[in-house]
């Protein structure tokens, strides 16, 4: 158990308590977004500024991924963007119908700090309802676009709790994408007012293996070695299954999107031959009730 203090509106607040949580199995999560949902390319994030003719790929990358998961008898957690669920509810139904966990990746793929906390809360409540109406079941999990929750003392975390989520999966223990003060293993974050479970992505040293390129560069031997840890949580994206460079992005956006992309599909097929768990199933049942 660790206690933290932090500053809000110039007051020192010392009520955050972090408690490690035991989970079962290694976790595979998939962020359901298009290639253009890249926070370094803001004109593509908001539908008003996105070109109407922009190419979409999810109608075939999702069925392709579902087939690979079915072949490997794997169940994963899919963090789905609300705007995609609204436009393509049939994809949510297909994923849910195949036995995977449906979770929420926000309404639009914006960095949290681009919107104030009230707008953010309204947006994730809307996204959660869109997903729940489609599957007819409760949504438990949330992940911030681009891991942009950043830190466990963010005011946005309280908004995630208030919107009705039981767990969050946004806090990465690396600088910039998250914070070195975050934890790289599952834990509970409690304050005097609220509590939430945090299921973070795994890291190797200063690198997240959830943000794409680091995972895309890993070999089978390296992945097997990581699986000797008690906890391994990797994340992939539907756009990564296509072996090509993504050219229609700014230079900085390409720096994050393209490394390792040319051969990810061909060389990382082994991911689908290993055993993985959904986040919900990895959390012991009593904890969520």
Kindly list the residues in this chain that would bind Zn ion in the complex (CB under 5 A).
Answer: 31, 33, 145
Rank residues 145 and 200 by Cβ distance to Zn ion and give the closer one.
Answer: 145
Q: Which is nearer to Zn ion, 191 or 211 (CB)?
A: 211
- The least distance separating Zn ion from the CB of residue 31, rounded to whole angstroms, comes to 4
Whole-number minimum distance, CB 231 to Zn ion, in Å? Answer: 21
Nearer to Zn ion, 126 or 227 (CB): 126
Phi then psi for residue 222, to 5 deg, are: -65, -40
Question: What gap in Å lies between CA 288 and CA 286, rounded to an integer?
Answer: 6
33 vs 125 by CB, closer to Zn ion: 33
Write the DSSP assignment of 154-195 as a string of letters: -HHHHHHHHTT-SEE----SSTTTS-TTS-SS-EEEE-SS-E
C-alpha 45/C-alpha 50 separation (Å) is 7
- Closest approach of Zn ion to the CB of residue 145, in Å: 5
Give least dist CB 210 to Zn ion, A: 10
The span from the CA of 80 to the CA of 256, in Å, is 20
Distance CA 112, CA 110 (A): 6
Cβ–Cβ under 8 Å, residues 31 and 235: yes
Nearest approach in angstroms of CB 172 to Zn ion is: 12
From the list 112, 115, 80, the residue with the least C-alpha distance to 177 is 112
Name the residue nearer to Zn ion (CB basis): 43 or 73.
Answer: 43
Q: What is the dihedral of CA 194, 199, 205, 211, to 10 degrees?
A: -110
Q: How far is the CB of 201 from Zn ion (least distance, A)?
A: 12
Residue with CB nearest Zn ion? 31
User: Which residue, 26 or 37, is less far from Zn ion as judged by CB?
Assistant: 37
């Amino acid at each position: 158990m660790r206690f933290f203090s932090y500053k809000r509106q110039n007051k020192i607040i010392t009520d955050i308590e972090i408690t490690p949580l035991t989970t079962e199995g290694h976790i595979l999560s998939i962020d359901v977004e298009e290639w253009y949902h890249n926070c370094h390319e803001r004109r593509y994030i908001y539908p008003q500024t996105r070109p109407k003719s922009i190419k979409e790929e999810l109608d075939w990358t999702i069925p392709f991924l579902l087939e690979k998961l079915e072949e490997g008898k794997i169940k994963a957690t899919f963090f789905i963007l609300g705007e995609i669920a609204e436009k393509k509810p049939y994809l949510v139904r297909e994923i849910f119908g195949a036995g995977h966990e449906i979770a929420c990746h926000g309404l639009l793929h914006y960095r949290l700090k681009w919107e104030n906390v009230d707008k953010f809360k309204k947006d994730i409540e809307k996204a959660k309802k869109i997903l729940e109406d489609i599957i007819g079941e409760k949504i438990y999990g949330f992940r911030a676009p681009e891991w942009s929750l950043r830190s466990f003392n963010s005011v946005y975390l309280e908004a995630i709790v208030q919107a009705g989520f039981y767990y969050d999966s946004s806090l990465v223990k690396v600088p910039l994408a998250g914070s070195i003060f975050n934890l790289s293993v599952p834990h509970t974050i409690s304050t005097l007012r609220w509590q939430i479970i945090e299921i973070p992505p795994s890291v190797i040293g200063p690198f997240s293996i959830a943000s794409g390129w680091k995972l895309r560069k890993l070999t089978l031997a390296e992945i097997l070695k990581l699986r000797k840890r008690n906890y391994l949580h990797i994340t992939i994206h539907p756009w990564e299954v296509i072996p090509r460079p993504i050219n229609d992005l700014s230079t900085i956006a390409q720096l994050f999107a393209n490394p390792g992309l040319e051969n990810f599909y061909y060389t990382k097929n082994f991911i689908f031959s290993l055993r993985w768990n959904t986040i919900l199933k990895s959390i012991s049942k009593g904890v969520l009730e």
